[in-house]
Amino acid sequence: MRFLFGKKTGSNYQLVISISAAELRLLILKEKPNKAPELIVNDVERLQNNNITQALSNLNERYKKLSLDDAKVTFVLQPAHYQSTAVDRPDVPDEDLAASLRFQLDELTEMSPDQMITDYYELPLQASGQDKVTAVVAPKELLANIVDAVAAQSWQLTDITVSEVVLKNLFQHREKPCMVLYGLSQNRYVAQIYRAGKLVFTRELRGVRDLSKYSVEEIKLGALEPLATEIQRSMDYYEGQLRQAGLREVVLAVAGPQREAMAESLHELLAVDVELFEYPQWMNELCEGDFSDLEALAASITPSAQGDAQ
């Protein structure tokens, strides 16, 4: 999904920027002929008064020796800056579908239709009798600010996307179906299911506390039972409503000091294999370590790039 399109450039650098509620994450990748890009920068800039232009200017000044003029930019919105929901497919021509969603989403957001930019994506699996698309809405003012802020740095914006769409890139070469649990910003947890590398299910989990606060003792006493219940509901929908074979693998992309205890507890509660997400080897030296850079990392990966990187 792309909200916006830009132009091809002659720069040797690719920039990936993700925006959370409080900061910008910047990845700088140097492109190489016939090879995967090389990650050379992974940095963060705090947002002061939501001033995206100033934050990008600070980052550009910090790395001015790289001469980033005309660099291609992919911008990733984290969940604090967009909403998504499954809706019935509007009865309009495909070319009008994205724009028409503004009126369906009017009651689901505080924004009026003229304050929205809407887009959508489609999941390859549908429950019987349904014809839905996943509608995505972001504030027009925010997207306009992003466009202006990128242009002010003499960079070229190629697209704006959202975290739930790009995260699948991290698992595109995994053939067996698996569920991945992500810990996103503001203690938000999202479960996604991938089959043959494609996103087939996504759901934000409700009522889950900050998992990083639990001790090993609390986990052993059943603190993760509410989380396990939410995961099981998602698995039941995948198996029952989407008529798929039972899932046997869950991956935890969740930060915290007790990750091993979490995996062991969920294995016992769900009776499935549970593994801990590990960063790709090519990013190990520059990874953040707490998964706050996963959306930016995922947006930097293309099918050919990941194959080369491995």
As a whole number, mean pLDDT of residues 8-24 equals: 88
Which of 308, 216, 302 has its CA nearest to residue 257? 216
Confidence of residue 173 (pLDDT cuts 50, 70, 90): confident
Name the fold adopted by 81-138: Dna Ligase; domain 1 (3.30.1490)
Residue 147 phi/psi, 5° resolution? Answer: -60, -50
pLDDT recorded at residue 1: 60
pLDDT recorded at residue 264: 97
Give the sheet arrangement for strand 13-19, strand by strand: 35-46, 23-32, 13-19, 72-77, 156-162
Amino acid type, 124: P
Average pLDDT over the chain, rounded to an integer: 90
As a whole number, mean pLDDT of residues 272-292 equals: 92
Please state which CATH number belongs to domain 172-277: 3.30.420.40
Confidence of residue 62 (pLDDT cuts 50, 70, 90): very high
Name the fold adopted by 13-79+142-165+296-309: Nucleotidyltransferase; domain 5 (3.30.420)
Q: How far is CA 137 from CA 28, 111, 209, in A?
A: 27, 9, 26
| C-beta separation of 256 from 263 below 8 A | no
Q: Report how far residue 250's alpha carbon sits from residue 233's, in angstroms, rounded to the nearest whole number.
A: 14
Q: Where in the chain is the domain with CATH 3.30.420.40?
A: 13-79+142-165+296-309, 172-277
pLDDT recorded at residue 308: 38
pLDDT tens digits for range 74-103: 999 999 999 999 999 999 999 999 999 988
pLDDT recorded at residue 6: 46
pLDDT at 284 over 60: yes
Helix (H/G/I), strand (E/B), else coil: 188: strand
What residues are paired with 14 via a beta bridge? 29, 72
Q: Where in the chain is the domain with CATH 3.30.1490?
A: 81-138
